[in-house]
A and B are shown apart, each in its own frame.
Chain A
Amino acid sequence: MVIMSQFGGPDGELAASMRYLSQRYSTKNRKVAGVLTDIGTEELAHMEMVSAIVHQLTKDITPQEIVESGFDKYYVDHTLGLWPQSAGGIPFTSTFFQSKGDVITDLIEDMAAEQKARTTYDNILRLVHDQEVCDPIKFLRQREINHFQRFGEALRIVLDELDSKNFYAVNIDYLPDLHK
Chain B
Amino acid sequence: MEHYSKNYNMTGMEGVVSRMNISNKDKLFACITATSFVMDDLRIYLDTHPTDQEALDYWEKISRVRKEAVDEYTRNFGPIYSYDVNVKNKWTWVEDPWPWEGRC
Question: Which residues of A are in contact with B by a Cβ distance under 8 Å?
Answer: 31, 34-35, 38-39, 42, 48, 51-53, 55-57, 132, 146-147, 150, 153-154, 157
Q: Contacts A38-B43, A42-B40, A146-B41 known; A157 to B48 CB distance under 8 Å?
A: yes
Instruction: Decide if the interface of chain A is mainly helix, strand, loop or mixed.
Output: helix
Q: Which residue of A lies closest to B41 (CB)?
A: A146
Q: What is the distance, in angstroms, from A133's C-beta to the closest C-beta of chain B?
A: 9
Q: Which residue of B lies closest to A54 (CB)?
A: B100
Q: Contacts A42-B40, A56-B104 known; A150 to B99 CB distance under 8 Å?
A: no
Which B residues, 11 to 70, have Cβ-Cβ distances below 8 Å to chain A? 40-41, 43-45, 47-50
The tally of residues in B whose CB lies under 8 Å from a CB in A reads: 13
Q: What is the distance, in angstroms, from A31's C-beta to the closest C-beta of chain B?
A: 5
Q: Which residue of B lies closest to A48 (CB)?
A: B99
23 contacts between A and B (CB under 8 A): A31-B47, A34-B47, A34-B48, A35-B47, A35-B48, A38-B40, A38-B43, A42-B44, A48-B99, A48-B100, A51-B100, A55-B100, A56-B100, A56-B104, A57-B104, A146-B41, A146-B44, A147-B44, A150-B44, A150-B45, A150-B47, A150-B48, A154-B48
CA distance A147 to B41 in the complex (A): 9
Query: Is B102 within 8 A of A52, CB to CB?
Result: yes
Instruction: Decide if the interface of chain B is mainly helix, strand, loop or mixed.
Output: helix
Which B residues, 50 to 102, have Cβ-Cβ distances below 8 Å to chain A? 50, 99-100, 102
Query: Is A31 within 8 A of B100, CB to CB?
Result: no
CA distance A55 to B103 in the complex (A): 12
CA distance A136 to B47 in the complex (A): 26
Q: Which residue of B lies closest to A36 (CB)?
A: B47
Q: Which residue of A lies closest to B46 (CB)?
A: A34
Chain A residues within an 8 Å CB radius of B47 = 31, 34-35, 38, 150
Q: Which residue of A lies closest to B43 (CB)?
A: A38
Chain B residues within an 8 Å CB radius of A42 = 40, 44
Q: Which 3 A-B pairs have the closest CB atoms?
A: A56-B104, A34-B47, A52-B100
CA distance A78 to B100 in the complex (A): 18
